[in-house]
Amino acid sequence: MKLPKGFLFDFDGVVVDSKESHNSAWASAFKELFNSEIAPFPKTHAGKSPMIIAEYFCSVIGQEKRTEELFYLKDTHLDKYFKVPKLLPGVREFTTFLSKKNISYGIASNATKQFLKNSIHHLNLEFTTIFGVQDYIKPKPAPEAYITLAKALNFKETDFKDIWVFEDSLTGVTAAKLAGMIPIGITTQYSKEELKKAGSILVFPTLLEAYQFLTSKI
Protein backbone atom coordinates (compact mmCIF):
# COMPACT_ATOMS: atom_id res chain seq x y z
CA MET A 1 0.00 0.00 0.00
CA LYS A 2 1.25 3.43 -0.96
CA LEU A 3 1.14 5.86 1.97
CA PRO A 4 -1.00 9.03 1.68
CA LYS A 5 0.91 12.24 0.86
CA GLY A 6 -0.12 13.95 4.07
CA PHE A 7 -2.06 13.57 7.31
CA LEU A 8 -4.24 16.27 8.83
CA PHE A 9 -5.65 15.95 12.34
CA ASP A 10 -8.54 17.45 14.21
CA PHE A 11 -7.61 17.96 17.87
CA ASP A 12 -10.46 17.43 20.34
CA GLY A 13 -11.60 13.80 20.23
CA VAL A 14 -8.77 12.73 17.90
CA VAL A 15 -5.50 13.76 19.57
CA VAL A 16 -6.93 14.42 23.05
CA ASP A 17 -9.99 13.82 25.18
CA SER A 18 -10.67 17.42 26.20
CA LYS A 19 -14.31 17.22 27.26
CA GLU A 20 -13.43 18.00 30.89
CA SER A 21 -11.22 20.97 29.90
CA HIS A 22 -13.92 22.57 27.72
CA ASN A 23 -16.95 21.70 29.86
CA SER A 24 -15.29 23.11 32.96
CA ALA A 25 -14.44 26.40 31.17
CA TRP A 26 -17.96 26.72 29.71
CA ALA A 27 -19.54 26.06 33.12
CA SER A 28 -17.36 28.52 35.07
CA ALA A 29 -17.70 31.25 32.41
CA PHE A 30 -21.48 30.79 32.26
CA LYS A 31 -21.71 30.92 36.07
CA GLU A 32 -19.66 34.13 36.16
CA LEU A 33 -21.72 35.79 33.44
CA PHE A 34 -25.25 34.68 34.38
CA ASN A 35 -24.89 33.39 37.95
CA SER A 36 -26.64 30.15 36.97
CA GLU A 37 -25.79 26.59 35.99
CA ILE A 38 -25.15 25.80 32.34
CA ALA A 39 -27.30 23.41 30.30
CA PRO A 40 -25.86 19.99 29.38
CA PHE A 41 -23.66 20.04 26.26
CA PRO A 42 -25.63 18.87 23.20
CA LYS A 43 -23.99 16.11 21.13
CA THR A 44 -25.31 17.82 17.99
CA HIS A 45 -22.79 20.63 18.60
CA ALA A 46 -19.70 18.40 18.81
CA GLY A 47 -16.91 19.84 16.65
CA LYS A 48 -18.75 23.09 15.95
CA SER A 49 -17.13 26.48 16.43
CA PRO A 50 -17.10 27.87 20.00
CA MET A 51 -19.19 30.86 18.87
CA ILE A 52 -22.02 28.54 17.76
CA ILE A 53 -21.74 26.62 21.05
CA ALA A 54 -21.83 29.91 23.01
CA GLU A 55 -24.92 30.94 21.07
CA TYR A 56 -26.63 27.66 21.99
CA PHE A 57 -25.91 28.00 25.72
CA CYS A 58 -27.14 31.62 25.70
CA SER A 59 -30.28 30.70 23.74
CA VAL A 60 -31.33 28.21 26.45
CA ILE A 61 -31.87 31.14 28.84
CA GLY A 62 -32.96 33.66 26.20
CA GLN A 63 -29.70 35.63 26.30
CA GLU A 64 -28.53 35.28 22.67
CA LYS A 65 -27.42 38.93 22.67
CA ARG A 66 -24.64 37.99 25.12
CA THR A 67 -23.21 35.23 22.91
CA GLU A 68 -19.94 37.06 22.19
CA GLU A 69 -19.45 37.85 25.87
CA LEU A 70 -19.75 34.17 26.77
CA PHE A 71 -17.47 33.15 23.89
CA TYR A 72 -14.65 35.48 25.01
CA LEU A 73 -15.08 34.72 28.71
CA LYS A 74 -14.97 30.96 28.05
CA ASP A 75 -11.72 31.45 26.14
CA THR A 76 -10.31 33.39 29.11
CA HIS A 77 -11.36 30.67 31.56
CA LEU A 78 -9.95 27.94 29.30
CA ASP A 79 -6.57 29.67 29.49
CA LYS A 80 -6.70 30.94 33.10
CA TYR A 81 -7.92 27.68 34.66
CA PHE A 82 -6.23 25.47 32.06
CA LYS A 83 -6.82 21.75 32.54
CA VAL A 84 -4.45 19.53 30.58
CA PRO A 85 -6.55 17.28 28.33
CA LYS A 86 -5.99 13.52 28.27
CA LEU A 87 -3.81 12.24 25.44
CA LEU A 88 -5.59 9.61 23.34
CA PRO A 89 -3.86 6.36 22.25
CA GLY A 90 -1.57 6.27 19.22
CA VAL A 91 -0.68 9.96 18.90
CA ARG A 92 3.04 9.66 19.71
CA GLU A 93 3.42 6.50 17.61
CA PHE A 94 1.75 8.23 14.67
CA THR A 95 3.77 11.46 14.77
CA THR A 96 7.05 9.55 15.25
CA PHE A 97 6.19 7.35 12.27
CA LEU A 98 5.30 10.33 10.03
CA SER A 99 8.45 12.21 11.01
CA LYS A 100 10.59 9.16 10.15
CA LYS A 101 8.84 8.82 6.79
CA ASN A 102 9.21 12.57 6.17
CA ILE A 103 5.45 12.94 5.64
CA SER A 104 3.92 16.33 6.45
CA TYR A 105 1.21 16.60 9.11
CA GLY A 106 -0.54 19.21 11.21
CA ILE A 107 -3.65 20.19 13.16
CA ALA A 108 -6.72 22.16 12.07
CA SER A 109 -9.24 22.52 14.88
CA ASN A 110 -12.33 24.55 15.74
CA ALA A 111 -10.81 25.00 19.21
CA THR A 112 -9.04 28.28 20.03
CA LYS A 113 -5.37 28.67 19.16
CA GLN A 114 -4.29 29.30 22.76
CA PHE A 115 -5.90 26.06 23.95
CA LEU A 116 -4.11 24.13 21.21
CA LYS A 117 -0.76 25.74 22.08
CA ASN A 118 -1.21 25.13 25.82
CA SER A 119 -2.19 21.50 25.29
CA ILE A 120 0.61 20.74 22.84
CA HIS A 121 3.13 22.35 25.19
CA HIS A 122 1.96 20.51 28.33
CA LEU A 123 1.65 17.15 26.58
CA ASN A 124 4.97 17.65 24.77
CA LEU A 125 3.49 16.77 21.37
CA GLU A 126 5.31 17.01 18.06
CA PHE A 127 2.88 19.23 16.17
CA THR A 128 4.46 22.38 14.78
CA THR A 129 1.82 23.44 12.23
CA ILE A 130 -1.46 24.19 14.00
CA PHE A 131 -4.54 26.21 13.14
CA GLY A 132 -7.38 27.21 15.48
CA VAL A 133 -10.78 28.78 15.03
CA GLN A 134 -9.39 32.36 14.89
CA ASP A 135 -7.44 31.43 11.75
CA TYR A 136 -10.52 30.92 9.56
CA ILE A 137 -13.21 33.17 8.17
CA LYS A 138 -15.51 30.14 8.01
CA PRO A 139 -14.80 27.37 10.57
CA LYS A 140 -15.75 23.73 10.01
CA PRO A 141 -18.02 22.37 8.52
CA ALA A 142 -16.67 24.73 5.82
CA PRO A 143 -13.52 23.28 4.17
CA GLU A 144 -11.37 26.37 4.86
CA ALA A 145 -9.65 24.89 7.95
CA TYR A 146 -8.22 21.90 6.10
CA ILE A 147 -7.43 23.82 2.92
CA THR A 148 -5.54 26.42 5.00
CA LEU A 149 -3.56 23.71 6.80
CA ALA A 150 -2.77 21.76 3.62
CA LYS A 151 -1.48 24.89 1.89
CA ALA A 152 0.64 25.80 4.93
CA LEU A 153 2.20 22.33 4.62
CA ASN A 154 3.00 23.15 0.96
CA PHE A 155 0.45 20.81 -0.58
CA LYS A 156 -1.10 21.76 -3.91
CA GLU A 157 -4.80 21.27 -4.67
CA THR A 158 -3.89 18.30 -6.86
CA ASP A 159 -2.51 16.61 -3.71
CA PHE A 160 -5.72 16.96 -1.71
CA LYS A 161 -7.20 13.66 -2.93
CA ASP A 162 -4.17 11.88 -1.41
CA ILE A 163 -4.44 13.47 2.06
CA TRP A 164 -6.01 11.69 5.03
CA VAL A 165 -7.97 13.76 7.55
CA PHE A 166 -8.72 12.31 10.99
CA GLU A 167 -12.01 13.50 12.48
CA ASP A 168 -14.34 12.46 15.29
CA SER A 169 -17.28 14.76 14.47
CA LEU A 170 -19.76 14.90 11.60
CA THR A 171 -18.92 18.62 11.32
CA GLY A 172 -15.26 17.79 10.72
CA VAL A 173 -15.92 14.89 8.34
CA THR A 174 -18.03 17.26 6.23
CA ALA A 175 -15.18 19.82 6.20
CA ALA A 176 -12.66 17.21 5.03
CA LYS A 177 -15.01 15.93 2.34
CA LEU A 178 -15.73 19.45 1.06
CA ALA A 179 -11.97 20.09 0.92
CA GLY A 180 -11.65 17.14 -1.48
CA MET A 181 -9.62 15.10 1.02
CA ILE A 182 -10.10 11.62 2.50
CA PRO A 183 -12.04 11.70 5.80
CA ILE A 184 -11.03 9.02 8.32
CA GLY A 185 -13.40 8.64 11.28
CA ILE A 186 -12.42 8.20 14.93
CA THR A 187 -15.25 6.83 17.11
CA THR A 188 -14.72 8.88 20.29
CA GLN A 189 -17.92 10.85 19.66
CA TYR A 190 -20.00 9.12 17.00
CA SER A 191 -20.55 5.51 15.91
CA LYS A 192 -18.86 3.87 12.94
CA GLU A 193 -22.19 3.94 11.09
CA GLU A 194 -22.73 7.66 11.72
CA LEU A 195 -19.18 8.56 10.62
CA LYS A 196 -19.44 6.37 7.49
CA LYS A 197 -22.79 7.92 6.60
CA ALA A 198 -21.23 11.40 6.91
CA GLY A 199 -18.51 10.39 4.43
CA SER A 200 -15.66 8.69 6.34
CA ILE A 201 -13.82 6.24 4.08
CA LEU A 202 -12.35 4.26 6.99
CA VAL A 203 -13.21 4.34 10.69
CA PHE A 204 -11.05 3.44 13.72
CA PRO A 205 -11.59 3.56 17.51
CA THR A 206 -8.45 5.72 18.00
CA LEU A 207 -5.31 6.81 16.13
CA LEU A 208 -3.55 3.74 17.52
CA GLU A 209 -5.65 1.36 15.39
CA ALA A 210 -5.23 3.67 12.39
CA TYR A 211 -1.45 3.61 12.92
CA GLN A 212 -1.45 -0.21 13.22
CA PHE A 213 -3.54 -0.50 10.06
CA LEU A 214 -1.18 1.74 8.08
CA THR A 215 2.04 0.11 9.27
CA SER A 216 0.69 -3.39 8.57
CA LYS A 217 0.03 -2.43 4.95
CA ILE A 218 3.52 -1.20 4.03
List of residues 6+ apart from 158 with CB closer than 8 A:
none
Q: Which uninterrupted H or E stretch holds 6?
A: strand 6-9
Domain that holds residue 194: 6-18+85-217
Instruction: Output the domain CATH number for residue 101.
Output: 3.40.50.1000
Domain presence at residue 46: yes
Same domain, 50 and 101: no
Domain count, the chain: 2
Final residue of a structural domain among 35, 51, 80 = 80
In angstroms, the CA 67 to CA 54 distance is 5
Per-residue burial over 129-152, b if 16 or more Cβ lie within 10 Å, else e, is: ebbbbebbeebbbbbbbbbbbbee
pLDDT tens digits, one per residue of 21-71: 999 999 999 999 999 999 999 989 999 999 999 999 999 999 999 999 999
Same domain, 66 and 95: no
Using the predicted structure, report yes or no on whether residue 174 has a pLDDT greater than 90: yes
Domain presence at residue 1: no
In angstroms, the CA 34 to CA 51 distance is 17
The pTM score is: 0.94
What pLDDT, on the 0 to 100 scale, is given for residue 138? 97
Same domain, 97 and 167: yes
Same domain, 65 and 93: no
Using the predicted structure, report yes or no on whether residue 117 has a pLDDT greater than 90: yes
Same domain, 89 and 68: no
What pLDDT, on the 0 to 100 scale, is given for residue 217? 87
Residue 17 backbone class (left: φ over 0; alpha: ψ -120 to 50; beta: rest): beta
